[in-house]
């Protein structure tokens, strides 16, 4: 067992974990944060994408011990005081989700894209989301939602995603 | 935290007492989204119960083998392991998995034990189950289960499987032939063949597909030992059917079983099933008296969740030199896989009715043979039989166009049913109730810019461009709204096709709609709210929809085959009308008027001629609740239910057009544009309809270009992970241009036709027709699916090598 300290969606946790425990299982089974689902076992589908220290990672491809000392943001940490992020709003308005299973991962991957590139075109959005599979929407509405969110953020004069929270020293 | 703060397309502010009108047809933003966008979901794998144990299944590494020994004793020694069982251990009280569709009287129906007993019959067939305190311990302990296998020959080729001396998948049955199912209609095919100018024969292959719902399958069973009751949570499309079938398989009385389908992350047919893991989970929970959970890994799902398609189609058409169809002959070999699952044998039979499509002809002959192989069982996958049929007829219509020198659109125009001919009884015996193929096609051609693209195609051919432009058309219809119960009787399906709805009007005037359909992404909560709000005249926001739990929605036939809106939504409509009828009686009493003198509009009953004499439906609901003053003898409730058995199928139709650029040097295909015009009858929510079309297109295009379950010669699944099986990503798919025509279905009160499968059905042939159209001048007349760069390049190479006059080159 290994001791880890990790901040998830703003809450600090201290835990003993097996070194082989995947981050996604740590979030789901240990912390009960089931908003992040598992879609595959080959890090192909992206459903379990979260942010670790400000960068999107597939949490089935990261060990919990690798998050030691880090800050994780999941889909459950996006909305603040009842207000959705522009991405969440755009996904809703554009019907960019059907069954919704891929949605947490899509939102987290799209945040990463907009942080890197606040003015993507449709082709850039498609390329950026290549690692996130959806079986319901045909992607068209997802792409439209990400473009809308980028525009909304620009109009608001803020970056599309809040800058990553400070990493605890 | 909700989406209510969001101003959406067509959305208006909610307000107490506001009455609704015209909800149907509005692009209402989904009520479902708020939970899904914030991670507050209730997927089966999220369910945590105190004392929960985890199951892991040991699966056969071989396609076919005799089991000579299974020993779980070493697994029991592993840390965290609570129990382990073989098939024999659980055989008492765990029967064969069901097949509900014996398509012929003499169909061969092999036993299908949830855990294998004597033999394993496909890679992934489960042989033992381990029960442990967490998922890691359960997975670890699988390594300690010892199994001795005596290899048996795999059965992989559909034609070889039918040979006299073929090894048998089920040796006790003496044959790999599950059934033969014929259909004959009109003139004898041989006779029309005689008088035809053009006779074309083609063989098409429907590769096996893996449905890939994003949520893997999962099941949780919680027992209540004192009363023998069980709650089964399952990622299923069919909680009601599952409840009946689990009762039959395990012997747990049906009234002691509650099945819940919580949030379900997609299905596409793959969760229209009664799976062995569900039955084993129930049996283990019963044996141990403890709650258990099983969640499949994706790789495990590829072996154990049913596959789709898997057919060889030999198609022959006879036609005049003017391109008029005289007759169609189809011989089908359908890969059942190792076992007949819930509706496995019926899938190709659904297709049997769809090969004649939208065309008139004098003769139709169809024969299907179901074949057992040592591969994962097949069953429903988006469209289920209808995409396969549409593919074959739409591919060979292009061949007819080429043979007669006609444009592919023109050859369809010469054969299709004209709009003034509806209702039209097809040669296969279906009565198409409404449609307008001319209008949909004209709209699609205009949006696509057909003539301009044809001109560009000619120009590029003439200048010898190595990147060829190809144009593909597909005009389709499908049968939805499964199904009139008497038709299902005639098809030997073991259940009806009705759907149930009930409406509870609460004392405050809020409304609960209980539906027997069980959604997994289709937006039923939103659409059913729109339907109920319109009929009852209450605000959209005042309606809640309850589904997917046999305790609270006890009656239903669930969701598949684009039936939910057509049958289930219509049942909601009828139930709401009954509520209004009850309310009218109370309102008349309160207003001291006759019922006939009341007008009902926008949720208000008013006496004709005295508009001040009025009661809102909410006031009537409260008055009924208090029951202080209701009509003599009337039960004090406005609640009502309706079970609707559809009078006919519904028949969506449309025209899809695809332009591709095919690089003849690399074989790469790029979709340049895709246009579709679908007629799905009256639309309840255009935003949701469009989303369903997009998703369907993605899956149909994926069959054309990307996806295939590939086996090696020993029967191992080579495309066994998501890294090996190409589910297309955003980067692989184009933007779609979608549009609609709208001819209401006359056979249901909504006029709806169904939309879930349309995109998948029509797109596969549109894309492959485009690829072949690009290469036809090189002598190519077919590219097998999926049209990967390698296959395209090989088709070009083969055509060049054997090129004579460019007419018939081997595929």
* Residue A43, min C-alpha distance to chain B (Å): 8
* Residue B305, min C-alpha distance to chain A (Å): 14
| Confidence check: pLDDT of B696 > 90 | yes
- Chain A residue whose CA is closest to B37: A88
Q: What is the mean pLDDT of residues A86-103?
A: 98
Taking a C-beta distance cutoff of 8 angstroms, is the pair B21, B534 a contact?
yes
Residues B660 and B672: their CA atoms lie apart, in Å, by 5
Tell me B171's DSSP state: G
CB contact under 8 Å between B721 and A44, yes or no, is yes
| Confidence check: pLDDT of A132 > 50 | yes
State the CB neighbour count (10 A cutoff) for residue B706: 18
Mutate to test the interface with A, among B210, B676, B730, B735 (most CBs of A within 10 A): B730
Residues B685 and B670: their CA atoms lie apart, in Å, by 32
* Residue A98, min C-alpha distance to chain B (Å): 4
Beta strand residue intervals within B373-498, DSSP E: 424-425, 431-432, 467-477
Contact residues on chain B for A135, CB-CB shorter than 8 A: 212-214, 266, 268, 695, 698-699, 727
Confidence (pLDDT) at B611:
87
The dihedrals phi and psi of B663, each to the nearest 5 degrees, come to -85, 110
Say which of B134, B521, B736 has its CB closest to residue A99: B521
CB contact under 8 Å between B136 and A93, yes or no, is no
* Residue A42, min C-alpha distance to chain B (Å): 6
Say which of A37, A89, A95 has its CB closest to residue B30: A95
CB contact under 8 Å between A95 and B6, yes or no, is no
* SS3 assignment, position B421: helix
Residues B668 and B751: their CA atoms lie apart, in Å, by 42
Enumerate the β-bridge partners of residue B650: B480
CA distances from A165 to A7, A8, A73, A111, B191 (A): 10, 11, 9, 14, 78
Distance in Å from the first CA to the final CA of chain B: 58
Helical (H) or strand (E) element with B522 = none
CA distances from A151 to A111, A127, B5, B302, B717 (A): 13, 18, 19, 40, 45
Confidence (pLDDT) at B21:
61
**Tokens 């190792």 correspond to what residue?**
B338
Per DSSP bridges, beta strands A49-52 and A55-58 are antiparallel
What number of C-beta contacts closer than 8 Å exist between A and B? 202
Contact residues on chain B for A137, CB-CB shorter than 8 A: 691, 694-695, 698
Q: Which parts of chain A fold into alpha helices (H)?
A: 23-25, 86-93, 103-116, 122-128, 140-155
| Confidence check: pLDDT of B302 > 60 | yes
CB contact under 8 Å between B41 and A100, yes or no, is yes
Confidence (pLDDT) at B803:
67
pTM for this entry: 0.95
Give the count of alpha carbons within 13 A of B384, CB side only.
26
The percentage of chain A sitting over the pLDDT mark of 90, rounded to a whole number, equals 90
Is B4's Cβ below 8 Å from some Cβ in A?
no
* SS3 assignment, position A3: strand
pLDDT, tens digit, 9 for 90 and up, residues A149-163: 999 999 988 654 554
Say which of B212, B263, B691 has its CB closest to residue A95: B691
**Mean per-residue pLDDT of chain B:** 95
Tally of residues, chain B: 811
CA distances from B182 to B88, B325, B349, B473 (A): 39, 21, 9, 29
Confidence (pLDDT) at A158:
64
Q: What is the mean pLDDT of residues B222-235?
A: 96
Structure tokens of B797?
Answer: 């190479």
Q: What is the mean pLDDT of residues B552-560?
A: 97
Residues A123 and A144: their CA atoms lie apart, in Å, by 11
Is B690's Cβ below 8 Å from some Cβ in A?
yes
* Residue A99, min C-alpha distance to chain B (Å): 3
Contact residues on chain A for B54, CB-CB shorter than 8 A: none
Nearest CA to B387 out of B630, B704, B711, B806 is that of B704
Structure tokens of B374?
Answer: 């040592």
pLDDT, tens digit, 9 for 90 and up, residues B736-754: 999 999 999 999 999 999 9
Beta strand residue intervals within A2-145, DSSP E: 2-8, 11-17, 49-52, 55-58, 71-73
* Residue B597, min C-alpha distance to chain A (Å): 43
Indicate the pLDDT class of residue B612, thresholds 50, 70 and 90: very high
**Tokens 């079970």 correspond to what residue?**
B643
Mutate to test the interface with A, among B31, B729, B733, B736 (most CBs of A within 10 A): B729
The percentage of chain B sitting over the pLDDT mark of 70, rounded to a whole number, equals 96
Say which of A42, A103, A137 has its CB closest to residue B722: A42
pLDDT, tens digit, 9 for 90 and up, residues B439-492: 999 999 999 999 999 999 999 999 999 999 999 999 999 999 999 999 999 999
Weakest mean pLDDT among B10-19, B214-223, B452-461: B10-19
């Amino acid at each position: 067992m290994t001791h880890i300290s990790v901040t998830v969606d703003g809450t600090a946790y201290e835990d003993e974990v097996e070194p082989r425990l995947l981050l996604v299982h740590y979030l789901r089974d240990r912390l009960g944060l089931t908003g992040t689902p598992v879609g595959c076992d080959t890090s192909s589908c992206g459903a379990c994408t979260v942010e670790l220290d400000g960068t999107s990672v597939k949490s089935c491809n990261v060990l919990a011990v690798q998050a030691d000392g880090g800050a994780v943001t999941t889909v459950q940490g996006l909305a603040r005081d009842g207000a959705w992020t522009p991405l969440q709003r755009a996904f809703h308005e554009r019907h960019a989700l059907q069954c919704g299973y891929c949605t947490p991962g899509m939102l987290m991957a799209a945040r990463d894209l907009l942080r890197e590139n606040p003015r993507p075109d449709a082709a850039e959005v498609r390329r950026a989301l290549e690692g996130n599979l959806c079986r319901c929407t045909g992607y068209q509405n997802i792409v439209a939602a990400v473009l809308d969110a980028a525009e909304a953020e620009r109009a608001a004069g803020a970056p599309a995603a809040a800058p990553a929270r400070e990493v605890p020293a | 935290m909700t989406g209510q703060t969001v101003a959406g397309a067509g959305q208006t502010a909610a307000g107490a007492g506001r009455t609704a009108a015209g909800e149907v047809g509005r692009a209402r933003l989904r009520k479902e989204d708020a939970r899904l966008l914030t991670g507050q979901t209730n997927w089966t794998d999220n369910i945590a119960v105190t004392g929960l144990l985890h199951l892991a299944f040991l699966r056969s590494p071989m396609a076919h083998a005799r089991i000579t020994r299974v020993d779980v004793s070493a697994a029991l020694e592993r840390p965290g392991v609570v129990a382990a069982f073989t098939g024999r251990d659980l055989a008492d009280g765990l029967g064969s998995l069901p097949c509900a569709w014996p398509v012929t009287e003499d169909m061969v129906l092999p036993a299908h034990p949830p855990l294998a007993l004597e033999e394993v019959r496909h890679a992934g067939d489960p042989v033992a189950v381990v029960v442990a305190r967490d998922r890691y311990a359960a997975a670890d302990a699988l390594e300690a289960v010892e199994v001795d296998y005596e290899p048996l020959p795999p059965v992989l080729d559909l034609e070889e499987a039918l040979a006299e001396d073929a090894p048998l998948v089920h040796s006790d049955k003496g044959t790999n032939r599950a059934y033969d199912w014929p259909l004959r209609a009109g003139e004898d095919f041989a006779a029309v063949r005689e008088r035809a100018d053009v006779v074309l024969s083609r063989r098409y292959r429907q590769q096996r597909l893996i449905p890939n719902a994003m949520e893997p399958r999962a099941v949780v069973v919680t027992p209540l030992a004192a009363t023998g009751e069980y709650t089964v949570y399952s990622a299923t499309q069919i909680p009601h059917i599952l409840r009946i079938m689990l009762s039959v398989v395990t012997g747990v009385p049906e009234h002691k079983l509650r099945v819940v389908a919580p949030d379900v992350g997609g299905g596409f047919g793959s969760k229209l099933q009664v799976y062995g893991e569900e039955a084993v989970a129930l049996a283990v929970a019963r044996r141990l008296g403890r709650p258990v959970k099983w969640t499949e890994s994706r790789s495990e799902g590829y072996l154990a969740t049913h596959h789709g398609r898997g057919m060889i189609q030999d198609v022959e058409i006879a036609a005049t030199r003017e391109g008029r169809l005289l007759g169609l002959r189809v011989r089908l070999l359908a890969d059942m896989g190792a076992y007949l699952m819930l509706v496995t044998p019926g899938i190709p039979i659904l297709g049997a009715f769809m090969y004649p499509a939208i065309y008139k002809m004098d003769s139709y002959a169809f024969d299907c043979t179901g074949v057992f192989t040592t591969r994962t069982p097949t069953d429903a996958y988006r469209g289920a039989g209808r995409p396969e049929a549409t593919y074959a007829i739409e591919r060979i219509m292009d061949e007819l166009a080429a043979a007669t020198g006609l444009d592919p659109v023109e050859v369809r125009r010469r054969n299709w049913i004209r709009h003034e001919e509806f209702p039209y009884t097809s040669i296969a015996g279906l009565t198409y109730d409404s449609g307008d193929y001319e209008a949909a096609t004209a709209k699609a051609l205009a949006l696509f810019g057909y003539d301009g693209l044809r001109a560009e195609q000619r120009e590029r051919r003439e200048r010898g461009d190595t990147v060829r432009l190809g144009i593909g058309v597909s005009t389709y219809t499908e049968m939805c709204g499964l199904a009139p119960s008497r038709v299902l009787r005639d098809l030997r399906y073991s259940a009806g096709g009705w759907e149930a709805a009930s409406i509870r009007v609460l004392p405050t005037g809020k409304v609960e709609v209980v539906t027997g359909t069980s959604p997994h992404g289709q937006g039923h909560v939103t659409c059913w709210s729109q339907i109920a709000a319109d009929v009852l005249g209450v605000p959209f926001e005042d309606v809640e929809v309850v589904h997917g739990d046999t305790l609270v929605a006890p009656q239903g036939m669930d969701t598949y085959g684009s039936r939910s809106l057509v049958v289930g939504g219509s049942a909601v409509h009828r139930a709401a009308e009954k509520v209004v009828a009850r309310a009218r009686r109370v309102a008349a009493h309160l207003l001291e008027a006759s019922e006939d003198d009341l007008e009902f509009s926008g949720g208000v009953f008013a006496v004709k001629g005295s508009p001040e004499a009025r009661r809102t439906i909410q006031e009537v609901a409260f008055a009924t609740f208090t029951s202080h003053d209701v009509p003599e003898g009337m039960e004090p409730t406005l609640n009502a239910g309706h079970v609707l058995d559809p009078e006919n199928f519904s028949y969506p139709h449309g025209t899809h057009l695809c332009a591709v650029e095919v690089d003849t040097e690399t074989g790469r295909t790029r979709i340049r544009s895709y246009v579709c015009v679908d007629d799905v009858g009256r639309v309840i929510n255009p935003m949701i309809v469009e989303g369903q079309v997009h998703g369907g297109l993605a899956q149909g295009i994926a069959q054309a270009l990307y996806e295939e379950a590939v086996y090696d010669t020993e029967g191992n699944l080579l495309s066994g992970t998501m890294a090996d099986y190409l589910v297309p990503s955003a980067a692989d798919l184009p933007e779609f241009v979608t549009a609609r025509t709208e001819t209401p279905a006359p056979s249901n009160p909504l006029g709806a036709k169904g939309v879930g499968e349309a995109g998948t059905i029509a797109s596969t042939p549109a894309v492959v027709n485009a690829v072949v159209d690009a290469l036809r001048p090189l002598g190519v007349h077919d590219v097998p699916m999926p049209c990967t760069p390698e296959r395209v390049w090989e088709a070009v190479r083969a055509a060049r090598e054997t090129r004579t006059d460019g007419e018939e080159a081997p595929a």
